[in-house]
Amino acid sequence: MRQPLRHYALAGLLLALISYSCKKDRIAPVPPPGGLTITNISDTSATASWTAVPNATAYYIYVAPDAGFKSSVTGSPFTVKQTTFNMAGLTPYQRYFVKVVAVINTVKSNPGTTDFTTLDADNLIFVSSDDYSDYVTNNYTWHNFNLYAIHARDGSIAWTITGSAGNQIVKDSIIYVMKSDGYLYALDMTGVVKWKFGLALSSPIFSTIPLIKNGVLYIGDIEGRLWAVNTTDGSLKWYSSPIIYPSNSIDASPIINDSATTLYITSDDGMVHSYDAATGTMKWSSLNTGNPIQSRPALYNNTVYAGCFSRMYAFDAQTGAYKWNSTDPHTTLNSSMAISNNKALVGGDDGYFYSVNLADGSLNWKKPLPLPGGITSSPIVTGGVIYVGSVGRVYALDETTGAVNWENDTVGDSSAVYSGPVVTDNYLYTGSVLGNFYQLDKKTGKILWTIHPLAASWHSSPCVVKYSGKVFYPGVSGMTQ
């Protein structure tokens, strides 16, 4: 009878030892980091911070552009001992997922998680250049145009296409540009041709910046015709009858009303013309101003405004009836006007910048810009500030008074700035006739970088595309086309 009792006693002792050993080796779970927040978010960096876990010996930080952390950023997971971590080298306008794991010796916690999106930033600048040296040696006619794609961050050139004829525009991640072979091209963001439209000629026939609305591209030519082309495949929608006049070239981009039913163009025949946007049928022509109109018209409050070689005119948008012409400015207006707060803002060949009341053409103010020479750079106005180029200078003017907010007198190296500036959230972009292209700080006018491709000369305005795909055009607010 004693033998079984001895066995039971031994078995009990063994169970007690096993139980004691398990209790001795058991480690409490590590709590996850709490309060994970992301601050100091920029376009390429951000700071993660979290609440400390007691006795934690390290933290692992995982950063990835996908929730499953299958394609983590370089270096992830990062190991730190503090409760903050600066994430750098990120892509602008990208959503990132973050998880932080606390470690005590070798035991890991469950993760604390969050996500954030980096800020948008200027990505690529698209701008066409002509060859100034070729211009001088070929009896002052333009040849050898190039389209440049430029990295906005540092001015480095992403790619170049030769043979463009200037006046590019970007819409829905497609670049539309004329080339010297007579065709209009649609390119993707890497410069690959999607389609081309036009006639095989020895020189360009399309002479204006295209206008794009509701999947249709509108463009004028040197023979006074307006064309409508489907942006999906480059197929022809319609073309208008030519303007009958000894000088009939359409030299400026068309504009369209809000309902996309009516187009307006100016021409070397000295008139404004209105067209049905669906058919290309001409609706009306204005009175003849007596001088070619080479700047783009503007549309505001059922009135079309145009500047020509002598003054500014206003016409009824429905009928083309004459409303008024300005007495001051009374100078050549090659610059396209900007419209803001019932004012037309435009530079003149007399070296003055003008603010004109749209109601009756009366002068609000005019501002002389110091160096001699006309103002052909088309202005842009945003946030109550007018940005415009002159001879060897770029200005930021107060919209209400014309007072100079800042002036950069090194832009252009005393050469003309014909390129209408484009203003984004933080920067201004423009180029000079002698070939420098600039990024300026929008608030101060300070030059941030400059490039000068071989033999370049800048006359057209750039288009700036952000990482989100948002495009800044030359125009009234920086976002209009």
Cα angle value 202/206/209 (rounded, 5°)? 140
Query: DSSP string covering 29-83, please?
Result: PPPPP---EEES--SS-EEEE-PPPTT--EEEEEEESSTT-SSPPTTPSEEESSS
Of 341, 270, 353, nearest to 301 (Cα)? 341
Mean pLDDT for 33-50 is 97
Q: Which two tokens stand for residue 297?
A: 């018209």
What pLDDT is stored for residue 442 in this prediction?
A: 96
Q: Which two tokens stand for residue 307?
A: 């500047």
Q: How close are the terminal C-alpha atoms of the chain, in Å?
A: 105
Q: Which CATH number fits domain 37-117: 2.60.40.10, 2.130.10.10, 1.10.4190.10, 1.25.40.10?
A: 2.60.40.10
Residue 17 has pLDDT above 80, yes or no: no
pLDDT digits (tens, 9 = 90+) for 292-341: 898 899 999 999 999 987 889 999 999 999 999 998 888 888 888 999 99
Residue with the bigger pLDDT between 208 and 346: it is: 346
> From CA 446, how far away is CA 406, in angstroms rounded?
9
Mean pLDDT for 249-278 is 93
> From CA 112, how far away is CA 107, in angstroms rounded?
15
Buried b (16+ CB within 10 A) or exposed e, 341-353: eebbbbbbbbbbb
What pLDDT is stored for residue 178 in this prediction?
A: 85
pLDDT digits (tens, 9 = 90+) for 412-434: 666 788 888 999 999 999 998 88
Domain boundaries, the chain: 37-117, 122-472
Of 453, 329, 424, 434, nearest to 391 (Cα)? 434
> From CA 38, how far away is CA 84, in angstroms rounded?
10
Is residue 374 classed as helix, strand or coil in its secondary structure?
coil
> From CA 458, how far away is CA 429, in angstroms rounded?
11
At 285, is the pLDDT very low, low, confident or very high (cuts 50, 70, 90)? very high
Mean pLDDT for 93-122 is 96
What pLDDT is stored for residue 363 in this prediction?
A: 95
Continuous segment of H or E residues that includes residue 388: strand 385-389
Q: Which CATH number fits domain 122-472: 3.90.226.10, 2.130.10.10, 3.40.50.1860, 1.20.1260.10?
A: 2.130.10.10
What pLDDT is stored for residue 345 in this prediction?
A: 94
Lowest mean pLDDT among 31-45, 53-67, 132-146, 269-283: 132-146
Number of helices (H), then strands (E), belonging to the chain: the values are 2, 42
User: Are the CB atoms for 94 and 87 separated by under 8 Å?
Assistant: no
Mean pLDDT, the chain, whole residue set: 87
- One-letter amino acid of 111: P
> From CA 479, how far away is CA 81, in angstroms rounded?
46
Residue 106 has pLDDT above 70, yes or no: yes
What pLDDT is stored for residue 5 in this prediction?
A: 47
Query: DSSP string covering 204-216, please?
Result: --B-S--EEETTE
Residue 411 has pLDDT above 70, yes or no: yes
> From CA 428, how far away is CA 442, in angstroms rounded?
5
At 208, is the pLDDT very low, low, confident or very high (cuts 50, 70, 90)? confident
What pLDDT is stored for residue 143 in this prediction?
A: 53
Continuous segment of H or E residues that includes residue 16: helix 2-25
Cα angle value 304/306/311 (rounded, 5°)? 135
Assessment of whether the complete model's pTM goes beyond 0.95? no
432 CA to centre of own chain = 19
At 15, is the pLDDT very low, low, confident or very high (cuts 50, 70, 90)? very low
> From CA 256, how far away is CA 229, in angstroms rounded?
15
> From CA 399, how far away is CA 311, in angstroms rounded?
21
Q: Which two tokens stand for residue 190?
A: 């890497």
Reduced 3-state DSSP string for 347-361: ECCCCEEEEEECCCC
Mean pLDDT for 451-480 is 82
> From CA 337, how far away is CA 354, in angstroms rounded?
10
At 3, is the pLDDT very low, low, confident or very high (cuts 50, 70, 90)? low
Continuous segment of H or E residues that includes residue 236: strand 236-239
Query: DSSP string covering 276-298, please?
Result: ETTT--EEEE----SS---S--E
What pLDDT is stored for residue 392 in this prediction?
A: 83
Which phi and psi (to 5°) does residue 93 adopt? 50, 45
Residue 1 has pLDDT above 50, yes or no: no
